[in-house]
Chains A and B, each alone.
Chain A
């Protein structure tokens, strides 16, 4: 089945460690996004990529890094520079022909907890 797969679903990290969240899609979508969701707040955009080998910062990129070496993959690294990384992370994608509809297809999310 086509979809977006995020892994791991749950992740615990010690302070000072970098962690990488995986996001893979087999929908052949051009654009991919990373959002962060905190209780009582909306989804906030971290990074997005419209095409392979290109990505842009979103509203809260500090302390995060991404790569887009393949169309199917858009991993997110949460670095030790991120001061408050405990959150629910959502990866999403959208096809080019639906760019105007704003429809995003989301993965199941990864919940990161810093101990």
Chain B
């Protein structure tokens, strides 16, 4: 079992719809969770992090964490073609080391 698992996609949504990206993790002791966005051929950039159970909102993005079920999700409201990218879920280990999932490809169709 991989430490961080994501559906590789691609996930296709129409412009203006809500995109829902999911991630599960195996280490029940994990405390910090991150979503990075990576455009094709570019380096990842952090868009959200969450530590506590529940929802965290930042603009069009909402991160959701459920530690009991060991999953974290990212919702993107009013999806735009510019949101088309690979979204990487990452979980923090001891010592500020991050373990990354393989990423989900999101395609927003105009």
A residues in contact (CB < 8 Å) with B: 31, 33, 35, 40-45, 48, 50, 58, 90, 94, 99-104, 106-109
B46/A42 in contact, CB under 8 A = no
> Which residues of B have CB within 8 Å of A40?
8, 102
B42/A108 in contact, CB under 8 A = yes
A86-B110 Cα distance, complex, nearest whole Å: 35
Given contacts A40-B102, A42-B4, A108-B43, contact A102 B96 (CB under 8 A): yes
- Inter-chain CB contacts under 8 Å: number: 55
Q: Which residue of the partner chain, among A31, A90, A94, A102, contacts B43 with CB atoms under 8 Å?
A: A90
> Which residues of B have CB within 8 Å of A44?
100
A42/B97 in contact, CB under 8 A = no
B46/A103 in contact, CB under 8 A = yes
Tell me whether chain A's interface is mostly helix, strand or loop, or mixed.
loop
Query: Residue B88 at the A interface, CB < 8 A?
Result: yes
Interface digits, B58-94 against A, CB 8 Å rule (1 contact, 0 not)?
0000000000000000000000000000001010100
Top 7 A-B residue pairs of the complex, sorted by shortest distance between their CB atoms? A42-B100, A106-B43, A43-B100, A102-B92, A42-B102, A99-B96, A42-B101
Query: Residue B44 at the A interface, CB < 8 A?
Result: yes
A100-B96 Cα distance, complex, nearest whole Å: 7
Task: Contacts A102-B98, A103-B46, A108-B43 known; list 16 others, CB within 8 Å.
Answer: A33-B97, A35-B100, A40-B8, A41-B102, A42-B4, A42-B100, A42-B101, A43-B44, A48-B97, A90-B44, A99-B96, A101-B32, A102-B90, A102-B92, A103-B34, A107-B43
